[in-house]
């Protein structure tokens, strides 16, 4: 059984290690730095198939992503596999609870955990836990992302999990005790803030326990309080650890620079910053599982109030891409999906989604640049990008994207653009990724066909 390395060990000795990736050996017997990483990516409201998939190169290994929404991945297309005709069943705006889970319910409820939750559980069950179980990231997702249309991350009970939307909070959680000066980390203000957070959560937990005892509730109602208490405990686990107040952190200069970059970073920088945070967390083995979720699926109001919807306040468009001096995109991501390619909103939609893919490509490139033995950290990772459907205007589940980046542990051929010719349900893709992590059998979604996609080869 492999002991998770302490963060300070990694900083002292570096992450270089002889990397062996024997296909025949179970991957859970590998050294900690070699263990596979998993990232699931969600960009909602369909993918605009006409602008997403390359016209040529299907099935012949010679595809080019230039000019498409996936263009930022072009330099890494040899480590990218793209499926053209994956099918998501049901109302696409009801897919969020189901897109990465084994659940079948709509209306905000899922029967079970999302794939990232299952992978993290698998690691923990094998004694391969990391200081942080997983990172659940939201990029320009509204508020703490408590809504059913925002967070595809579901716990074992199928309940939605909050996303971290502030890069600074993520940085502090991961690296606060490794960076900066003792004075900053251990100032009175910092100590007070941490004390307040812990005290409030502690008071919540004892209040729930007391209510349970006092009310003498029916088992069904006790479940409501159990879930409340679990929610509090989950948040307690996410609190930044007590910092080291005896010596300065000694973090590499790149992490110090990242810490400076996240402070007050504008929204336009959040995608790449979050990608770097995930990459560094992987490099230092602080976690091996992450989910990266953009924007918000469907519906633009909640409780009768317009939500502080994604992109409208900050995205600037010029010549097909984000540009800080470009024109304001003054509407919501969902709204953009309901316009044709030759409309202004359609062009904005392409640019916004390309910007999001750019963040994913940035993550992949960062991992690719980290050598591990004969390969790279990207080879040891699987990034899975999916959406709720294909044509978001017509709410069609056909031509939904399934993009795999990284090594997939050699179980899925990479550098391939495949159109299966008939429907492949999104559950088949999840099945294949789950198999690559040796997850026990799970039924994904309500798909009638749950065979892994490997049958296509």
Partner 1 sequence: MSQRLKRGCFRDRFALVVLGVCGCVGPLTEPEVPGPPPPPSAEARASLVFPGEDASLAPRRLWRLTSSQLEAQVEAALGTIINWGDARLFDAVDEAYANHQSGMSMPGANVHALLEMGDRVAEALAEDEACAGFGCDEAGLEVLLHRLHRGRAPDATIERGRALLQRLEAAGFPAPEAFGRAAGWSLGAVGVLFRTEVGAAPAERVVLTPLEQASGLAYLLWGEGPPEDLIRAAQNGALDSPEEVEAKAREMARDPRFARHLGRFLAQWLGYEHLDGATKSSELFPFFDDDHRRRLQVEIDAFVARVLEGDGSLVTLLSTQEGFQTSELPETYAGDEVEGGRTLTRAGLVLLPGVLAARSGSQTTKSMTRAARILERLFCIHLPEPDNVDLSVLPDPDEANSERERFEVLAETPSCSGCHRLLNPVAFAFERYDPAGRYRKTTEGEAIDPSGELGLGVEPVGSFSDAVEFMTAAASSVDVQACFVRQAFGFSFGLHPGPEHDPWMREAFSAFEDAGYALEELFVAFARSNFFRFRGRLEGDR
Q: Facing residues of 290 across strands? A: 39, 135
Which residue carries 């050699």 as its tokens?
A: 410
- In angstroms, give the least distance from the CB of 216 to partner 1: 5
- For residue 74, give Cα distances in angstroms to 1, 290, 335, 364, 365: 39, 23, 28, 11, 11
Report CA torsion sign: 291, 296, 298, 302.
positive
Q: Is 287 in the site for partner 1 (CB under 8 A)?
A: no
Q: Is 218 in the site for partner 1 (CB under 8 A)?
A: yes
Q: Is 235 in the site for partner 1 (CB under 8 A)?
A: yes
Q: CA-to-CA distance for 205 and 291, rounded, in angstroms?
A: 27
Out of 23, 24, 188, 342, the residue judged to bind partner 1 by CB under 8 A: 188
- In angstroms, give the least distance from the CB of 338 to partner 1: 5
Decide whether 302 or 419 has the Cβ nearer to partner 1: 302
Out of 108, 129, 326, 373, the residue judged to bind partner 1 by CB under 8 A: 108
Return the range that interacts with partner 1 (CB under 8 A); candidates 113-121, 168-176, 301-309, 351-359.
301-309
Decide whether 218 or 319 has the Cβ nearer to partner 1: 218
Report CA torsion sign: 60, 62, 66, 71.
positive
Decide whether 70 or 135 has the Cβ nearer to partner 1: 135
Cα–chain-centroid distance for residue 401? 16
Site string for partner 1, 148-177 (x = CB under 8 A): x--x---x-x-xxxx---------------
Site string for partner 1, 324-353 (x = CB under 8 A): -------xx--x--xx---xxx--------
Q: CA-to-CA distance for 120 and 439, rounded, in angstroms?
A: 10
Q: Is 359 in the site for partner 1 (CB under 8 A)?
A: no
Out of 1, 12, 23, 219, the residue judged to bind partner 1 by CB under 8 A: 219
Decide whether 285 or 391 has the Cβ nearer to partner 1: 391
Binding footprint of partner 1, residue count (CB under 8 A) = 72
Q: Is 314 in the site for partner 1 (CB under 8 A)?
A: no
Out of 25, 192, 318, 455, the residue judged to bind partner 1 by CB under 8 A: 192
Scan residues 62-101 and list those touching partner 1 (CB under 8 A).
Answer: 89-91
Q: Is 253 in the site for partner 1 (CB under 8 A)?
A: no
Return the range that interacts with partner 1 (CB under 8 A); candidates 187-195, 241-249, 379-387, 404-412.
187-195
Q: Is 109 in the site for partner 1 (CB under 8 A)?
A: yes
- In angstroms, give the least distance from the CB of 427 to partner 1: 13
Q: Is 18 in the site for partner 1 (CB under 8 A)?
A: no
Q: Identify whether the C-beta of residue 313 lies closer than 8 Å to the C-beta of residue 161.
A: no
Residue of 266, 232, 258, 100 lying closest to 170 (CA atoms): 258
Structure tokens at 212: 């349970």
């Amino acid at each position: 059984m492999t002991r998770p390395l302490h963060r300070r060990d990694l900083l002292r000795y570096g992450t270089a290690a002889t990397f062996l990736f024997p296909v025949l050996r179970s991957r859970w017997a590998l050294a900690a730095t070699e263990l596979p990483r998993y990232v699931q990516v969600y960009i909602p409201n369909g993918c605009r198939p006409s602008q997403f998939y390359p016209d040529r190169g299907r099935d012949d290994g010679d595809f080019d992503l230039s000019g498409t929404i996936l263009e930022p991945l072009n330099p890494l297309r040899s480590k990218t596999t793209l499926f053209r005709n994956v099918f998501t069943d049901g109302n696409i705006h009801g897919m969020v609870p189901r897109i990465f889970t084994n659940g079948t319910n709509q209306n905000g409820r899922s029967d079970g955990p999302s794939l990232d939750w299952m992978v993290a559980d698998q690691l923990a069950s094998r004694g391969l836990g990391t200081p942080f179980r997983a990172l659940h990231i939201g990029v320009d997702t509204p508020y703490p992302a408590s809504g059913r249309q925002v967070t595809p991350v579901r716990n074992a009970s199928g309940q939605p999990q909050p996303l971290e939307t502030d890069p600074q909070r993520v940085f502090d959680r991961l690296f606060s005790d490794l960076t900066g000066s003792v004075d900053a980390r251990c100032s009175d203000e910092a100590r007070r803030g941490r004390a307040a957070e812990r005290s409030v959560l502690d008071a919540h937990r004892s209040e729930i326990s007391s209510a349970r005892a006092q009310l003498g509730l029916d088992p069904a109602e006790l479940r409501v309080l159990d879930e409340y208490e679990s929610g509090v405990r989950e948040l307690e686990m996410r609190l930044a650890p007590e910092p080291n107040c005896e010596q300065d952190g000694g973090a590499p200069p790149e992490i110090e620079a990242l810490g400076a970059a996240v402070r007050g970073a504008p929204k336009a920088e959040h995608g790449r910053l979050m990608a770097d945070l995930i990459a560094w967390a992987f490099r230092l083995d602080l976690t091996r599982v992450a989910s990266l979720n953009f924007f918000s699926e469907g519906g633009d109001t909640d409780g009768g109030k317009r939500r502080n919807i994604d992109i409208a306040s900050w995205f600037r468009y010029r010549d097909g891409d984000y540009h800080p001096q470009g024109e304001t995109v003054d509407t919501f991501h969902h709204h953009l999906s309901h316009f044709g390619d030759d409309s202004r909103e359609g062009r904005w939609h392409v640019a916004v989604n390309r910007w999001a893919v750019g963040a994913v490509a940035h993550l992949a490139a960062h991992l690719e640049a980290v050598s591990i033995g004969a390969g790279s950290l990207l080879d040891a990772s699987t990034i899975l990008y999916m959406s709720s459907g294909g044509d978001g205007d017509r709410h069609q589940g056909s031509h939904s994207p399934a993009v795999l980046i990284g090594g997939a542990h050699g179980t899925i051929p990479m550098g391939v653009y495949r159109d299966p010719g008939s429907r492949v349900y999104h559950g088949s893709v999840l099945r294949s990724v789950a198999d690559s992590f040796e997850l026990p059998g799970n039924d994904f979604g309500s798909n009638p066909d749950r065979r892994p996609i490997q049958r296509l080869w």
